[in-house]
Amino acid sequence: MEKKPHAVKRDLPPREAPWPLLVLLLVSVLLLNALLYLYLSSSRGSQGRGEAEPSLCPFGYFKIGPMKNCSPWLSCEAINREVRKLKCVGEGAVKKVFLSEWKENKVVLAQLTTAELKEDFFHGLKMLKALQSKHVVRLLGYCEKQFTILTEYHPLGSLRGLNETLHIPKYKGMNTWHRRLMLAIDYVSIIRYLHSSPLGTLVMCDSNDLDKVLSQYLLTSDFHILVNDLDALPLVNRSAGRLVKCGHRELWGEFVAPEQRWPYGEDVPFDDELMPPYDEKTDIWKIPDVSNFLLGHVEGSDIVRLHLFDIHAACKKKDPAGRPSAQEILDTYRKVLTLLIREAAMPGTREML
């Protein structure tokens, strides 16, 4: 009986991806890296005065809306003559805020509520003038003798309304982990700017709870964050031994940093003179809580939190000296954004190969 020859098993060559797909893959990777480079370069900026106002107007001038030329900050006379109040849109401890109109542009007019707080008002105005940059709401004018400040109007309002804004059909496409992480990067960029400002190291004192923090910042129509309220911004000067205290009353709760709480127990009545001062690391303690709000609960946000776990744990160290700087946090946030964008592109890449 004749034996049948055994079938010879041949190794099939690996399936190669068609060259057009490889070219497309290469172009996609290069484009992704280019976009990341442009984003990180533009958002990194330089510190201090180098972080110029977006309108590129010189100090003491502004440009909003369709304006082609820069205008000097409006004086008392110009505000009285050209600005028309429309309605009251808010009131805080220091200022009452009115939606107003100037030359067919919506603007915001803030007025002092009570003379007892004029020092806070003038401090806020001083900070607003000195810190004009891409991180700070744009100043349009002021009148010291009438205790009024005019600033640019942002219709989306404060950060407190972020989640409600993202449920509006027009903005639902913004409700992604990527966009939310970019907002967190904006927030930390502002803290970094304040800690290395042209005036020195400034502490964001009006921040005793999350709601209060969020009310200090504005959400712009192109989904960036600006700091809006600078009334409580004391200066730390270590070389001169100058630290700060945020107010003269006792602070409670897990949101404020441990060094901001009364250290002598319930048996000892609070005494402001006995309360030890502290530095800008109180702002660092609060960053994880604010970022957690900004990240929200969308697909991918838990992955972002996982990548930020170590840096956020460092922010919550009881010893302020052990907490990272705002610059270190900002660098970490940017690295995580870069990593996750690349990882998001990888599933499609593997399928193409």
| Domain boundaries of the chain, sorted by first residue | 69-152, 157-345
| Full pLDDT tens readout for the chain, 353 residues | 544 455 444 555 555 556 666 556 565 655 655 555 555 544 444 333 345 555 579 999 999 988 899 999 999 999 999 999 999 998 888 899 999 999 999 999 999 998 888 999 999 999 999 999 999 999 999 999 999 999 999 999 999 999 999 999 999 999 999 999 999 999 999 999 999 999 999 999 999 999 999 999 999 999 999 999 999 999 999 888 899 999 999 999 999 999 999 999 999 999 999 999 999 999 999 999 999 999 999 999 999 999 999 999 999 999 999 999 999 999 999 999 999 998 887 655 444 43
Structure tokens at 301: 């946000």
- H or E segment to which residue 287 belongs: helix 281-295
- The DSSP symbol for 217 reads E
pTM for the full predicted model: 0.84
Top-level CATH class of 157-345? mainly alpha
Return d(Cα 135, Cα 334) in angstroms, integer.
17
Q: In angstroms, rounded to a whole number, what is the distance separating the alpha carbons of residues 126 and 231?
A: 9
CATH superfamily to which 69-152 belongs? Phosphorylase Kinase; domain 1 (3.30.200.20)
- 157-345: same fold as 69-152? no
